[in-house]
Chains A and B, each alone.
Chain A
Amino acid sequence: MTVRKPYVRSMEGWWNRVPFFRRYMAREVTAFFVAVYGLVMLAGLVRLSQGQAAFEGWLAQLRGGWSIALHVVLLLVFMYHTYSWFEIMPKTMPPVVIGGRKLAPGTITGLGLAAAAAASTLVLVIAWVLAR
């Protein structure tokens, strides 16, 4: 009778083993950037509460090269967050039956992305209208 010696393999670097896992990690890592932007907005809010001089100082920093570069990166990451969020959303929902047929995951994702486009446009339009 052979002696059993089950061999347990390491999980190190598991997220880099297949493209699927790399995409998952990219999705999860967007959270670090959401945190950064949340803190940037918070900083802006604190400066706003400290009066005009403080806020003008903050605006000057926002106009700086580093801030612009950061926000370009943040913009790209947030767009990936939007895409990956609605990509996984169908997996989290019970079957949606419309007219006797189950809604396909791709349809749900498409509707989500359309909603994001509409909501984003609305935010920019409202901001512009309020400033006029």
Chain B
Amino acid sequence: MKHSNQAPFWLLFGAGGMVSALIGAALVFLTGLAGPLGLFGPANPITYEHLVAFARNPLGGLFIFFVIALFLWHAAHRIYHTLHDFGIHLNAFWWLCCYGVAAAGTLVALVSLFKI
């Protein structure tokens, strides 16, 4: 009998799921609708200046990193298992497609934040 190693991925799935459940919709609204459409009027948080200042702030940078990383790890775990639900036979290829993208995304996010 093999001991399952799903635990760490499931915890990331849970953390990402919780964060996205609490503030995901608000972030979509902020970054994809209110910001671009100028619904905030003159005090628009979605501008180069404001976002660079936010990303350079240690707390702001951590927030951006964790939101992006956790959303990707949450999605990877759920998508991987949903493929199985749809009858797709899971193997290393599909594992990499899912978790590999999350890992790559996490790395890119880290590198980008350091560049700012």
Q: Which residues of A contact B (CB under 8 A)?
A: 11-12, 15, 25, 28-32, 34-35, 37-42, 44-46, 48-49, 52, 55-56, 59, 62-63, 67-68, 70-72, 74-75, 78-79, 81-82, 85-86, 112, 115-116, 119-121, 123-124, 127-128, 130-132
Classify the secondary structure of B's interface with A.
Answer: helix
- Contacting B33 at CB < 8 Å: which of A37, A42, A75? A75
Given contacts A116-B21, A119-B26, A124-B26, contact A11 B71 (CB under 8 A): no
Contact between B23 and A15 (Cβ–Cβ < 8 Å)? Answer: no
Contact between A128 and B40 (Cβ–Cβ < 8 Å)? Answer: yes
Contact between B75 and A38 (Cβ–Cβ < 8 Å)? Answer: yes
Return 11 A-B CB contacts under 8 Å, by A number.
A32-B79, A34-B16, A35-B79, A37-B24, A42-B72, A49-B112, A59-B46, A78-B24, A78-B25, A78-B28, A115-B22
The 8 closest A-B pairs by CB, nearest first: A71-B32, A31-B78, A35-B75, A120-B26, A38-B71, A85-B21, A49-B112, A78-B25
Binary contact readout B68-82 vs A (1 if CB under 8 angstroms, 0 otherwise): 100110111111011
Q: Which residues of B contact A (CB under 8 A)?
A: 16-18, 20-37, 40, 43-48, 50-52, 54-55, 64, 67-68, 71-72, 74-79, 81-82, 85-87, 101, 105, 108-109, 111-113, 115-116
